[in-house]
Structure 1
Amino acid sequence: MPRIRGASIEEHHEMVWAELAGALRELLLERDYDSINMGHIAARAGLARNTLYNYARDKSALVLALTERAARPALARVAAIAGRAEEPAAARLREIVEAFLRASMDQALQPMFRPGAGPLVAEVPKGPGNPFNAIVAEVENVVRDGIGRGEFRDVGDVPLTVELLSGVVRAGAERLGREPGAFATTVHASQEVILAALNHRPGERSVQD
């Protein structure tokens, strides 16, 4: 029976998950995602390969679990920003974009933003437990708030609009995966494209005018 570290089984599992996340981060700095296998992750985390299968059935499932865990701080940050209702919606959106792009640079999240990661993204469970869906819901609330205050134009279908604009942020995250040094310019460009889609067009009047 494997030696239990920590004061409880739960604490032991948390420690193992932390080691697995650290192992994946290190490996992704050294090699391409597709060249990493379960044996590499187990060895780097100091685990027997058979033990690793207690946490995930294969690499895809393991990376998804690590991604969901790594995304939780980003969700908390985005929710805190979105909840500052006294601030203009545009300012909150700018900060959310920056916070999410910064979080995307975590090596544990980068597999979700690699070109061709569609199948991996599609496997993330749907529903309120999905951290990415929860982040999108927070952004939708900010956009609705901005429309209600007259800051943004009425875009009609808010979920569709946010879904389309999320492609801008994903493109930014993919770029940062290739060029981490381009953070400032990528954030600025993403913010400008998103706000240009939401702001009133020339000649339009807001409900506050």
Structure 2
Amino acid sequence: MPRIRGSNIEEHHAMVWADLARALRELLLEQDYDSINMGHIAVRAGLARNTLYNYARDKGTLVLALTERASRPAVERVAAIAGRAETPAVQRMQEIILAFLEESTDQTLQMMFRPGAGALVAAMPKGPGNPFNAIVSEVENVVRDGVTSGEFRDVGDVQLTVELLSGVMRAGAERIGRDPAAFEATVRATQAIILASLNRQHDARPRQE
């Protein structure tokens, strides 16, 4: 039976998951995702390969589990910012963009923003259990607050608007993944584009004749 680390089984599992996340981050800094296999991850995490299969049946499943765990700080940060109802919606939106892009620098999360990650994104759980959906939901609340307060224009379909703007956020995360030195410039550009699209003076809806 494998040696149990920590004071109980829950602590042991938490430590193993932390080792797996560290191993994957290190490997992603050294080689392409496609060239990494379960054996590489097991060795780097200090696990026997058969033990690793107790945590995930394959690399894709493991990466999804690690991504869900890695995304929790981002979800918590965004929810905390969005929940500050006394703070202007414009400021909250700026802070959410910064927080999301900062959290996206995690090598595990970067997996979701790389070209060819469509299968991984599609495999994420649907509904509120999806961490990215949880973030989108918080952003929708901020947009609604901004429309109500008059800070943002009436965008009409808030869900659709935020879905489209999430593409800008994703593009920002992808850019940072390709060029970490462009972080500050990418944050500024992402904030400018999103806020410009919500600005009351910018109403792109077609006018009725």
After TM superposition, the score normalised by the length of structure 1 is 0.95
Task: Kindly provide the CA deviation profile for residues 22-52 of structure 1, in whole angstroms up to 9, marking residues without a partner as x.
Answer: 0001001111111111000000000011110
Q: Distance in 2 between matches of 1:186 and 1:70?
A: 22
Gaps of 5+ in 1: 205-209
Structure 2 CA distance for aligned equivalents of residues 129 and 3 of structure 1: 32
Alpha-carbon distance in 1 for matches of 2:156, 2:191: 21
Rounded to whole Å, the distance in 1 between the matches of 2:40 and 2:158 is 43
Alpha-carbon deviation of 1:116?
1.6
Matching residue's letter, 1:36 = I
- Which residue in the other structure is 1:52 paired with? 52
Please give the alpha-carbon distance, in whole angstroms, between the structure 1 residues aligned to 2:203 and 2:156: 19
Q: Which residue of 1 aligns with 2:67?
A: 67
Pair 1:153-2:134 in alignment: no
Range with greater deviation from structure 2 (89-98 or 126-135) = 126-135
Residue 119 of structure 1 and its aligned partner are, at CA, apart by 1.0
Please give the secondary structure, in 2, of the residue aligned with 1:54: coil
Query: CA–CA distance in 1 between the matches of 2:191 and 2:33?
Result: 29
Cα distance, 1:8 vs structure 2: 1.1
Question: Is residue 194 of structure 1 aligned with residue 194 of structure 2?
Answer: yes
* Structure 2 residue aligned with 1:114: 114
> So what's the TM-score if we normalise by structure 2?
0.95
Gaps of 5+ in 2: 205-209
What's the counterpart of residue 85 of structure 1? 85
Correspondence for 1:14:
14
Q: CA deviation at 1:203?
A: 9.0
Corresponding residue for residue 207 of structure 1:
none
2:128 and 2:13 map into 1 onto residues whose CA distance is 23
Residue 66 of structure 2 contacts residue 108 of structure 2 at CA under 8 Å; is this kept in 1? Answer: yes
Which residue does the alignment assign to 1:173?
A: 173
Identity of aligned residues (%): 76
Distance between the aligned counterparts of 1:135 and 1:16, measured in 2? 27
Q: CA deviation at 1:202?
A: 5.7
